[in-house]
Structure 1
Amino acid sequence: MKKKEEFEVVTTLEGHENEVKSVAWAPSGNLLATCSRDKSVWVWEVDEEEEYECVSVLNSHTQDVKHVVWHPHQELLASASYDDSVKLYREEEDDWVCCATLEGHTSTVWSLAFDQSGEKLATCSDDKTLRIWRQTKAEEEQAVGGSKKDASWKCVCTLTGYHTRTVYDVSWSHLTGSLASGCGDDAIRIFEEDPGSDPLQSTFSLTAHMPRAHSQDVNCVAWHPKEPGLLASCSDDGDMAFWQYQRPE
């Protein structure tokens, strides 16, 4: 019988003073972000010898930080918090700084996800809504040019009235553009951006609703990175489920 491979601890990173809630690799693999109930976001740098060094401790949030996610093409980091806000960070002059604060949710922001282009950011909240944020073209050009004023993101769509309890997670398919949510009402919902939607005032439609996807809260949803339409979900009921979604033509 072939012996099962075992995990080996390479290193342990310490420093947070409370529960660490989320961890995320930058696309380059050279940076790692962590966040915690201690209200902080830490950025770690990884060298060629796999040594980890904390290069910044960001204390921009006033409450627990629930989730961190990197921009798909840039070293731009986003975090979601119990303080009802989203923060964006980038490196400036060898230090990491908060370059934007996204406000609009009226309760805890649980999770967030960039679309494939990185031009849009979806956030989900205890206020039962999804929000879609977009950086305007002029601001994107400033960002490419290294401007210090590249911070403004605007909410271009609020999806309200669809969820009946806390929205715990959101996942944006980088293959199809489909947007999935996992909710405390045990349901999974999928949204699609309407064709011809105004980039500055986007509209999305609900295209799929699984009302009893699980028997308890849906904590996380994740699209497969290479197989279009394959969605995984997990729940307080102890189960994982896999769904095949067919986009409307």
Structure 2
Amino acid sequence: MSLDFHPTKEDLIFSCDSSSEIRYWSIKNGTSAGVFKGGATQLRFQPCFARILATAADNFVSIFDVETQSCRAKLQGHKNQVHSVCWDTSGEYLASVSDELVRVWNIGSGSKADCIHELSCPGNKFRTCIFHPTYPSLLVIGCNENLEFWNITENKRMTMHAHEKLVSALAVSNTGLVASASHDKCVKIWK
């Protein structure tokens, strides 16, 4: 369902499947190096801190310590399945997206994580999100045909028609470009 490279161990890639298994693989020899339970929809490593992994499953997000394979926190508050998670570049904030709700969490030390911002849009179809690399308080959200730009600190939104179908994936470059992929079979680059 999802995968992510380990931030510091170049030989490891992590994947999750619909059975809630998180498996890590040796890239050099192509074998499974270990497995533990906890992810189904998406997983993402926290930047800067190689041991923290956020995983989405059902209507919650788990924060795992990959070295101990233990759950540090379970982030709850979504009523529907969480489709996407993403970290800001500092690794301090995590965003989670379900159909009608986006939550931004402050991931503290230990097992504490607080929801600090929430965007609720009944009837919307949020699917994916990414923090903008050069504007840290701007969250880009992929929806049905649109991109939502949410300035978290000012709680202001701007909607832009982007595709003819659901925006299913987003990526950012270090130079500030945003890429969107959609079920309309197009990938677009935004400046």
Q: Which runs of 5+ in 1 are unaligned?
A: 1-20, 140-149, 195-202, 245-249
Q: Tell me the equivalent position of 1:68.
A: 43
**Change in 2 beyond 3 A, CA 1:173/1:118:** same
TM-aligned CA deviation for residue 164 of structure 1: 3.5
Cα deviation code 1:226-247 (max 9, x no counterpart): x22x211111111111222xxx
Q: Is the 8 A contact 1:116 1:175 kept in 2?
A: no
Matched position secondary structure for 1:165: coil
Matched position secondary structure for 2:164: coil
Q: 1-side partners of 2:71 and 2:34: how far apart?
A: 11
TM-aligned CA deviation for residue 53 of structure 1: 4.8
- Whether 2:119 is the aligned partner of 1:159: answer yes
Q: Tell me the equivalent position of 1:96.
A: 69
Scaled by the length of structure 2, what TM-score is found? Answer: 0.89
TM-aligned CA deviation for residue 209 of structure 1: 1.4
Cα deviation code 1:112-158 (max 9, x no counterpart): 110111010001002x111000024xx3xxxxxxxxxx122111111
Specify the code of the residue in structure 2 equivalent to 1:77. L
TM-aligned CA deviation for residue 214 of structure 1: 0.8
Q: 2-side partners of 1:118 and 1:34: how far apart?
A: 20
Q: 2-side partners of 1:30 and 1:90: how far apart?
A: 18
Q: Tell me the equivalent position of 1:197.
A: none
Query: What is the alpha-carbon root mean square deviation over aligned residues?
Result: 1.9
Q: Is the 8 A contact 2:7 2:45 kept in 1?
A: yes
Compare CA radii of gyration and give the structure with the larger one: 1
After TM superposition, the runs of 4+ consecutive aligned structure 1 residues lying more than 4 A away are none
Q: 2-side partners of 1:43 and 1:151: how far apart?
A: 23
Scaled by the length of structure 1, what TM-score is found? Answer: 0.70
Specify the code of the residue in structure 1 equivalent to 2:2. S
**Change in 2 beyond 3 A, CA 1:175/1:45:** farther
Q: Tell me the equivalent position of 1:188.
A: 147
Q: Tell me the equivalent position of 1:144.
A: none
Cα deviation code 1:33-54 (max 9, x no counterpart): 10111221113355xxx23553
Identity of aligned residues (%): 24
Q: Is the 8 A contact 2:117 2:152 kept in 1?
A: no
Specify the code of the residue in structure 1 equivalent to 2:173. H
Q: Tell me the equivalent position of 2:19.
A: 38
Q: Which runs of 5+ in 2 are unaligned?
A: none
Task: Map 1:1-249; keep pairs closer than 5 Å.
Answer: 21-28=1-8, 29-45=10-26, 50-60=28-38, 65-75=40-50, 76-81=52-57, 83-92=58-67, 95-126=68-99, 128-136=100-108, 139=109, 150-161=110-121, 164-177=123-136, 178-183=138-143, 185-194=144-153, 204-206=155-157, 208-210=158-160, 212-225=161-174, 227-228=175-176, 230-244=177-191
Q: How many residues align?
A: 188
Q: 1-side partners of 2:105 and 2:127: how far apart?
A: 18
Q: Is the 8 A contact 1:122 1:131 kept in 2?
A: yes
Q: Which has the higher strand share?
A: 2
Q: 2-side partners of 1:119 and 1:53: how far apart?
A: 32
Cα deviation code 1:181-218 (max 9, x no counterpart): 101x2110112232xxxxxxxx5321x311x3111111
